[in-house]
Every structure is written in structure tokens, then in C-alpha cells.
Structure 1
């Protein structure tokens, strides 16, 4: 049994050329090394794999059955190594499978148009999309089950980011408080929140960022919010507001339903920040570099 091989690919290259040319001198001429180097390296390779790889054939040499089998494997091994180098070359054509996760709004607004365009401009690049909130996406990214995650946080409650994650800022947006249209509330964030201290509050069902914002501002305004509904979709949040079932955070630039009034928040402001998250050191991989460039350009 052969254990703990430490075979260098350059020795496999020598063996493969020897199988093709049948002469160490010809191998040395083709690869630009001395004949003694070819002989020594083939001998080292034989010791590494525990088998005689060549045998005399007149004034030349030929591969033994073990040598021929290893040469057959060398074809596949060297091809795989060359493919890996090409894949990791920052200047290479982006190809392969790219796994991307994001929250619904980011996928709908930013990612889908890019995916449609990449299908035309880079047909050898396959992009797989998954819908996940940041807390889920960060877990998958840490497990190397994703290549890129579209995530977000708020300036009031920054996300806790693992040191192995690299963030690329994409955009920021102001958020306000969605309330029933007949409301006459006004003032800064603390005053606005205080006017809804007795109302039910609506927060995200799969991420705690907006709940943390609600609790932080409510605490500054001197009350504990009654979180009554955990809703993921912003459209559904608005429908609950129209039905008089609560109030909740919404993007200032988001189209509102009839029956919803959107109150700006200031002092403190609620600023939403989105990022593209990848693992440290992966940004030069051509598919990732391409998608990051497209995201920055689009946003």
C-alpha cells in the first residue's frame, strides 16, 4: 500500500514526456534540463511511489507497466493542475459555478439584471442563487457553502463580522417608520417612536437587525416596544400597517401602499447599509472579481 505520497508535478511531467519520446536526451532537449536531471528525477519519482518506472531498451529506456500506469494518471493530474491555475489566474476568463446568496430585495433589484446579462456575455459562467437573510448567509459563507453573500446592517447596530470575511460596501439608504396614513406624528426619531409606544411593532422574521434598531430607539425614547409580528416581506409589512395591526421600519425610497405614511427618522437617523461579503483572499478569483465589479457598477 502506498501512503503519504509527496509527488511533485514536475517529475510527473518528466515521466510523461519520457513515455512519449522514449529517450532521456530528447526529454532534456524538449524541457531544457540536463539528461542527468531527467534520470535523477525519474529515479526519485520511482522511490516516492515505491515502484520501478523505467527499464533498459537497448540504448534507450522504456516505461515499465507501473511506469505506464503512472504516466496515464499523470495526463489527468497535470491537466487538472493546469485547469486549476487557469481558473485562479486573475486574468483568466470567468468560468465555472458561482454560488451567491442574498436577501430578497438585493436579489430582485441588483442581482437579477446582472445574472441575465452574464448569461449572454459569459455563457461558461453558471451562477446559482439562494435567498437568505444575513445571519443565514454568514453561516453558509463561513462553512464555504457560498462564494458571495449580499448582506446588510444598520449604522445604529453594526453587524458583527468574522475576521475571515471581507466586505465590499455597495450602497446606503435611509429608512423611516411606516405608520397608518391618518397618523399626524412628527418630530425626530425619539419623538416619533414615543407617539407609537402603545402600538404593536412589526420586525423581520429571519434577521434581528431591524428589531435591534427598533429596540435601541425605543429604549432611548423610554419604552419597551411590544413586538407583535415577525414578517419577512416588506410588502406584507405594509399590508399589516394598512390593516391597523402595527407599525414597522421601511425604506424611505420604497413605494408605499395607499393607507401607509412613511415618516423620516432623524436624531438618530436609521441608515441601512448593504455589502457584498466574501471570504478573505477570494476576491481575485475571476468569477468573483467579475460579479463584484458588476455589482459596484450597477449600484
Structure 2
């Protein structure tokens, strides 16, 4: 049913006169009568009845007028919520990998709590392959994901991506191996051909990058372990269980060293991903702006 017709009915329940309703809504008495008659046809029951020279609502009309209060309020709230110029308000569901949550999302959560308390962020930790599936299924509103220059993720026309930051990665090895590794090029990787590798367990990008890098150096890597925690990767390296990729700026534990890569380099690219057409929703648009620009909300 058309909400405009509900507005006519609600005003009639309040004013008890079609003439007064017409004056209130800046229209004609004939229009008021026609709209209420059309509403009655939609719902299949009489909504008004004669009352001398005036009309009054039937019991069904009064019940529908009561519903109209809630319906029209909900419609008004929806318009305000979706208006790009409106004050941001609402709950934004964000799924992302732990490093992105720590690096860029938690500062925004703190800022918004102080300056935009009507915007709430629900945080879910997911690896990129999980977060992309969830944003595609509309189970979250925003995914923080990554890929590598050597293993770019497939493009999806149903999703919209914004680039956030880049981080070069290096190979984490026991410190004793750094001297034997050779120069920081494909020769570096080739010198490590006999070493077992540690890759991510819930995302394919890490393993894809390792396999591409090894292929360029002329060998097939032996994947020994899978771990999502960068701290656990270092513990496995220290235990002699393998080598793996770590961010070049990641704090290291004693006994772990990083071998830089330059020819080729391994670079992580982080993205903010939404469903196409969703980025204009005010609270989500605000968070995206903060992620990309780094500006404080005001």
C-alpha cells in the first residue's frame, strides 16, 4: 500500500474532517476522498462511514490508522538512514584480518565513540577469503582484505574496492641462515629451495605468493605448516620447522631474521571492500572516508 494514502488516513483520524485534512496536506477534499477510497480497495475493507454530514473511521479504519503511525515512522527513519546528507547513524558490520583491525580500524572505533556515538562498529576477525565471501553474501557491510602483487585476487564486479596501504614483505628465517642466503634477489629464494615453508591456513594468497616466488626461482616449494598468527610463524621458524613470509617492518623475536626481497619484491596491498552501491550509506561512507584519508571525524 502507498504510504501517502496512509498519511491521509492518519490525518483523518486526527482531524475528523476531510476539509481539514485537505487544508493540512495542501490538497483538495476530492483528493482526500479518492486516496482513502483507493486505500480501502487495497486492503479490501471499508475504512470510513457516514457520520451525519461528516465521516468517521470504521473500527478497521481506526486499527489501520494505528498501524499507520508505526509504518510512517519507520519509513521516515529509513529515509533519514539512507539519505547521503544525513547525520551518520547505524551499526556497520566489519570483517577483516587482525593486522588491519589493529592498524586502522581500532583507532576509528575510538574516534567514533567520542565524536559520532550514533555510529557503531561490530568487529569480526576473518581472513580475506572468508571476509570476501561474507560481504558478498551481505553478512557483513565492509571487508578489510589483502592480496600480494605476485598473487592478486580475482576481480568481482559485484564488489567495490578501495586501496588502503602497501607493505613490503620479507622471508623470515632462523638467523643462522641469513649468511647462506646470498643476495636479495631470486638467488635469495633459490638458496632456500630445500627449506620447508610456512603459509597461511585460512587464506590462499600467502601460499600463492610463495609458490609464484619459488617458481620464478626455479623450484617447487615444500609446504610444511600452515599458521594464521604471525607470532606463531616466528615460533615455528625458531623451532626449525620452516621459513615463511613476514612484513618487513614486523617486530622480530631473537633468533629470527628477515631476508629482504627486491627482484622481485613481495608487496602486500590492503583493501576496503563493500558490495557495489553500498558505499553511499552514511555510516559506511564515513568509515570508508576515515580509512582512506586518515582524517578525524568532525
2:263 is aligned with 1:267: yes
Which of the residues 218, 223, 228 maps onto 1:222? 218
2:205 is aligned with 1:213: no
**1:242 to partner: Cα distance:** 2.0
8 Å contact from structure 1 (residues 252, 264) kept in 2:
yes
In the other structure, the counterpart of 1:4 is: none
Scaled by the length of structure 1, what TM-score is found? 0.95
8 Å contact from structure 2 (residues 167, 247) kept in 1:
yes
User: What CA distance in whole angstroms lies between the structure 2 residues aligned with 1:151 and 1:227?
Assistant: 23
User: What CA distance in whole angstroms lies between the structure 1 residues aligned with 2:45 and 2:183?
Assistant: 84
Which of the residues 278, 290, 298 maps onto 2:286? 290
Provide structure 1 residue ranges, at least 5 long, that are not aligned to the other structure.
1-6
**1:278 to partner: Cα distance:** 0.5
Which of the residues 174, 184, 191 maps onto 2:187? 191
Following TM superposition, where does structure 1 have runs of at least 4 consecutive aligned residues deviating by more than 2 angstroms? 186-189
In the other structure, the counterpart of 1:3 is: none
Provide structure 2 residue ranges, at least 5 long, that are not aligned to the other structure.
none
Provide the aligned length of Structure 1 versus Structure 2.
293
Q: How big is each residue's C-alpha offset from its partner over 1:42-91, in whole Å with a ceiling of 9 and x where there is no partner?
A: 11110110011111112211111111111111110000000000000112
User: What CA distance in whole angstroms lies between the structure 2 residues aligned with 1:187 and 1:218?
Assistant: 15
**1:274 to partner: Cα distance:** 0.3
Scaled by the length of structure 2, what TM-score is found? 0.95
2:128 is aligned with 1:128: no
Give the secondary-structure state (helix, strand or coil) at the position aligned to 2:92.
Answer: strand
In the other structure, the counterpart of 2:109 is: 115
Give the secondary-structure state (helix, strand or coil) at the position aligned to 2:146.
Answer: strand
Kindly report which structure 2 residues correspond to 1:1-299, keeping only aligned pairs within 5 A, or say none: 7-182=1-176, 183-184=178-179, 185-298=181-294
User: What CA distance in whole angstroms lies between the structure 1 residues aligned with 2:294 and 2:89?
Assistant: 21
**1:189 to partner: Cα distance:** 3.6
User: What CA distance in whole angstroms lies between the structure 2 residues aligned with 1:269 and 1:113?
Assistant: 30
**1:213 to partner: Cα distance:** 0.7
Give the secondary-structure state (helix, strand or coil) at the position aligned to 1:41.
Answer: helix
8 Å contact from structure 1 (residues 186, 263) kept in 2:
no
8 Å contact from structure 2 (residues 94, 122) kept in 1:
yes
User: What CA distance in whole angstroms lies between the structure 1 residues aligned with 2:15 and 2:54?
Assistant: 10
